Amino acid sequence: MSTNYGGGWNPWGGYGYWNGPMNTETRSVDYKVSTLQIDLFDAKDGKLV
């Protein structure tokens, strides 16, 4: 995952807004594999959809 903050290019050069620096943060995130089960019921008769 990569996040950019601090602005973008401006007309005066390759700096962030008002010549502030542009920063990029990169992180590695591990997700656990799992299963999500959702049961949907009809609101009128209460039966499983």
pLDDT at 15 (0 to 100): 52
CA atoms in the 13 A half-sphere facing the CB of 16: 9
Residue whose C-alpha is closest to residue 24's, from 48, 3, 47 = 3
pLDDT at 26 (0 to 100): 78
pLDDT tens profile 9-45: 555 555 545 555 666 777 787 888 999 999 999 888 8
